[in-house]
């Protein structure tokens, strides 16, 4: 990691020059110049990174699509905090990854239904000892048999092949949330809609589903085309204080519908008769212009959000990547865009620090440029972003957080 003083101490460094130039031209920056700055080294030469997490073991896990025409080449790369590669593992069709508090790793991918390798379906690979470089496959959660509502239904051919697992997140008790998309969303069927979130216990048993979310239409509780999934439980590991909330955040990237809301806060309420009920968070509709200039729930705020992540520390910031806007957006846990102003600031509103952009030619590779960003996560006050179009994973930190 580059020392903090190197960001501001010399203008002979080209990266420092870029930072000063960005600060002088970005209209969103207030006079105090609160903004995200790059922390080096970036992780470069990772082909088409799709997802990134920092695990409870504090290792960096990156899912890469090494060959967009051959899903069998997808792999998971594991790096330490110095950005040194420590392990790599090929996973068929890998797209998403998460880790629970047991240091068990879950990877969304695909599996072949027989030895002829003519048909493959969505799967979640449950693995331990990844950090040691000796992975042990504990279980494979397989579509469609992993869904208890499909116990009395048979294989649906092309419709089941089209189903994807598109997001993973865990809770404090190692419950696993799995986002699913697919073509069958008949609310009168005995089988659950394809669009939604499956809930599994730590043993891999399906114990629930986001029944109350709308799989077909845009709303404040839509599950149409989920692309990213986050909970309030994330590293670092703690003996106490980790959030016990069952709430979740989702991003919706479906391009077949003109969705008004594409990044959602979903509340989970325990009901003694119906179990967990998932519903909308109307508090995000508070557009208080005295506190912020922009909001997460503005109509058509996003074009194609790929991922969403919630900081587990006291900040509670919500991060959303948008591949069509080539940007990362930052919100408070109340839906206001921006971060809290410094204690000595005269500014009273949230300071907008969302950043990105592919440059005038759409091919930018500077420290502030992003092309087709996908996965995002947060650890130790730093944001990690999969900059897919630049084949790298970038790390950024608020300059007010630099020591």
Per the CB < 8 A criterion, the answer to whether 338 and 283 are in contact is no
pLDDT of residue 349: 95
Residue appearing with tokens 């040194």: 84
pLDDT of residue 72: 61
DSSP H helix total and E strand total for the chain: 3, 25
Q: Rounded mean pLDDT of the chain?
A: 90
3-state secondary structure of 8: helix
Q: Which whole number is the average pLDDT over 336-342? A: 95
pLDDT classification of 286: cutoffs 50, 70, 90: very high
pLDDT over 70 (residue 20): no
- At 114-130, the pLDDT tens digits run 999 999 999 999 999 99
pLDDT of residue 131: 86
pLDDT of residue 14: 47
pLDDT of residue 68: 57
pLDDT over 50 (residue 25): no
Token pair for residue 81? Answer: 């905090």
Assigned domain for 4 exists: no
Q: Give the CATH number for residue 366.
A: 2.120.10.30
pLDDT of residue 13: 44
Q: Which whole number is the average pLDDT over 15-19? A: 43
Assigned domain for 6 exists: no
pLDDT classification of 31: cutoffs 50, 70, 90: very low
d(CA 354, CA 337): 8
Going through 27-66 in order, the beta strands assigned E by DSSP cover 36-38, 43-44, 49-54, 60-64
Per the CB < 8 A criterion, the answer to whether 307 and 374 are in contact is yes
Residue 37, C-beta contacts closer than 8 angstroms, at least 6 positions apart:
7, 19, 396, 397, 398, 399, 402
pLDDT of residue 401: 85
Token pair for residue 240? Answer: 């106490």
Q: Which whole number is the average pLDDT over 15-33? A: 41
pLDDT over 50 (residue 239): yes
Q: Which domain holds residue 173?
A: 21-401
Say what percent of the chain tops pLDDT 70: 90
- DSSP at 207: E
pLDDT classification of 403: cutoffs 50, 70, 90: low
Assigned domain for 16 exists: no
**N- to C-terminal Cα separation, the chain:** 12
pLDDT over 70 (residue 7): no
Tell me whether residue 188 is exposed, middle or buried, using C-beta atoms within 10 angstroms of its C-beta: 0 to 12, 13 to 18, 19 or more.
exposed
pLDDT of residue 238: 75
Assigned domain for 292 exists: yes
- At 148-173, the pLDDT tens digits run 999 999 999 999 999 999 999 999 99
- At 87-121, the pLDDT tens digits run 999 999 999 999 999 999 999 999 999 999 999 99
d(CA 4, CA 280): 41
pLDDT of residue 297: 98
- DSSP at 195: S
Residue 117, C-beta contacts closer than 8 angstroms, at least 6 positions apart:
none
Q: What's the structural domain count of the chain?
A: 1
Going through 171-274 in order, the beta strands assigned E by DSSP cover 176-181, 196-200, 206-209, 226-231, 248-252, 263-271
pLDDT over 90 (residue 384): yes
- At 45-58, the pLDDT tens digits run 999 999 999 999 99
Highest mean pLDDT among 1-5, 80-84, 345-349: 80-84
Q: Which whole number is the average pLDDT over 341-354? A: 90
pLDDT of residue 361: 83
Assigned domain for 12 exists: no
Q: Which whole number is the average pLDDT over 357-376? A: 92
Phi-psi region of 6 (alpha: psi -120 to 50; beta: other; left: phi over 0): alpha
Per the CB < 8 A criterion, the answer to whether 377 and 397 are in contact is no
- Please tell me the chain's helix, strand, coil percentages from 3-state DSSP, rounded to the nearest 5: 10, 35, 55
Tell me whether residue 176 is exposed, middle or buried, using C-beta atoms within 10 angstroms of its C-beta: 0 to 12, 13 to 18, 19 or more.
buried
Going through 253-381 in order, the beta strands assigned E by DSSP cover 263-271, 275-280, 305-310, 318-322, 327-331, 355-356, 373-379
Assigned domain for 362 exists: yes
Within 13 A of 322's CA, how many CA atoms are on the CB side?
19
Phi, psi of 278 (to 5 degrees): -100, 130
pLDDT over 60 (residue 28): no
Assigned domain for 9 exists: no
Per the CB < 8 A criterion, the answer to whether 58 and 380 are in contact is no
- At 294-333, the pLDDT tens digits run 999 999 999 999 999 999 999 999 999 999 999 999 999 9
pLDDT classification of 343: cutoffs 50, 70, 90: confident
């Amino acid at each position: 990691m580059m020392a903090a003083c190197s960001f501001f101490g010399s203008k002979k460094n080209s990266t420092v020059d870029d930072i000063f130039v960005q600060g002088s031209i970005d209209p969103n920056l207030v006079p105090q110049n609160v903004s995200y700055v790059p922390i080096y080294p970036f992780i470069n030469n990772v082909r088409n990174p799709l997802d990134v997490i920092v695990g409870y073991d504090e290792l960096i896990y990156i899912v890469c699509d090494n060959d967009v025409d051959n899903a069998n080449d997808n792999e998971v790369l594991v790096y330490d905090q110095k950005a040194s590669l420590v392990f790599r593992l090929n996973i068929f069709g890998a797209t998403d990854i998460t880790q629970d508090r047991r240091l068990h790793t879950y990877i969304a991918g695909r599996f072949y239904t027989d030895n002829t390798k003519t048909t493959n379906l969505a799967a979640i690979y449950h693995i331990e000892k990844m950090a040691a470089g000796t992975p042990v496959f504990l279980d494979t959660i397989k579509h469609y048999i992993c869904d208890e509502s499909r116990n009395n239904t048979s294989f649906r051919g092309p419709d089941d092949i089209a189903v994807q697992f598109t997001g993973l997140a865990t809770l404090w008790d190692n419950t696993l949330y799995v986002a699913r998309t697919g073509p069958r969303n008949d609310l009168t069927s005995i089988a659950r809609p394809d669009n939604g979130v499956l809930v599994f216990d730590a043993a891999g048993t399906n114990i629930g589903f986001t029944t109350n979310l709308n799989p077909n239409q845009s709303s404040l509780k839509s599950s149409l085309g989920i692309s990213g999934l986050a909970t309030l439980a994330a590293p670092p590991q703690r003996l106490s204080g980790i959030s016990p909330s069952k709430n979740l955040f989702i991003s919706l990237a479906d391009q077949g519908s003109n969705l008004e809301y594409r990044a959602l806060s979903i509340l989970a309420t325990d009901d003694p008769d119906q179990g967990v009920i998932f519903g909308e968070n109307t508090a995000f509709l508070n557009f208080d212009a005295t506190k912020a200039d922009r909001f997460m729930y503005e109509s058509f705020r996003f074009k194609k959000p790929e991922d969403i992540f919630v900081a587990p520390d006291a900040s509670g910031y919500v991060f959303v990547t948008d591949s069509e806007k080539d940007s990362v957006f930052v919100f408070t846990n109340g839906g206001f865009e921006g971060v809290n102003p410094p204690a000595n600031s005269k500014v009273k509103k949230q300071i907008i620090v969302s950043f990105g952009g592919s440059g005038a030619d759409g091919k930018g590779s500077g420290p502030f440029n992003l092309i087709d960003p996908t996965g995002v996560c947060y650890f130790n006050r730093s944001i990690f972003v999969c900059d897919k179009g630049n084949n790298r994973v970038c790390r950024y930190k608020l300059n007010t957080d630099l020591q």
